[in-house]
Amino acid sequence: MIQQALLEVFFLDQATRLSDNPRAFKDGNLFMNSVVLVTGTTHGIGLVTARELARARYTVVMACRDLALADQVVSDIKRETGNQEVYSVSCDLASLASVRLCAETFLSRFSELHVLINNAGLMRTRRETTIDGFETTFATNHLGPFLLTNLLLDRLRESAPARIVNVASNAHRGTRLDFEDLQARRKYRAMQAYAKSKLANVMFTLALARRLEGTGVTVNCLHPGVVGTNIFPTDNFLFRAVAPIARHFLMSPQMGAKTTLHLAKSNTVVDVSGAYFDEFQKPRPPSLHATNEMDQEELWRVSEALTGITDG
């Protein structure tokens, strides 16, 4: 209890500092007409995020697995917002090769990157493996965003001030990482696998914030709320039966996107880095397990080895 109270004081202090640098802002938005890359924008929170950023006159690049659907969403957003600077790029976060190609494509087409939003995520009721041999939930929710972020870090630094926003979840509070079984080979439970991947998101955010100190690039993570999106698996009868009823009691994607948009745009968080925000745009301390620096660094080392990158 004392540890958690101390953490709360620390993280609230971290997340309430304001900037005295007005150069980066205009009308409360970070670099209006600047470039933002968002993953997972064909449905739910990601779709709302992309649309509202386009409405705010950002150049929006949508990284999506289903490129045909993404292209349709691009057309819809252009029509709805009048912003023609909306683009799509193929990215399957479950495939390291696809993530690398996505980064290469983005870097070849855009000379700047001011905001990276790692939004995409999924849950699987049964243990599945990716083309690279990793457990699918862990690979898609953590390894893919870890690799994509690292491949784009130099461009973010060059474009500073810049921001990284990682969509995590309060589900991270109910678990801890087992470094002997990150791939859930011994025992797989859907909610636990999802929770562990979200814990990895928070730990990645905190470890990355240390590495980005003094660069002009900030990184924060968030809980969007319990939102009615298509993240719930459809390959399980119980999930399919409960989902239509549950959605009546869940937050809308419009509400769920609010904290993501706040961290991407607001001038009140320009100097805030390494913080965790709730669905009401308030800074909150993450779990004690998430703040363990030794575990954060171990996760970083393991993630580097699995994705084949070196620490930038």
Q: Are 206 and 291 in contact (CB under 8 A)?
A: yes
Tokens of 235: 């390959």
**Non-local CB neighbours of 247 within 8 Å, separated by 6+ positions:** 228
Sheet containing 162-167: which strands, arranged edge to edge?
86-90, 59-64, 35-39, 115-118, 162-167, 217-222, 276-277, 283-284
Active site members:
194
d(CA 60, CA 51): 9
* CB atoms inside a 10 Å sphere around CB 119: 25
Q: What is the DSSP letter of 252?
A: P
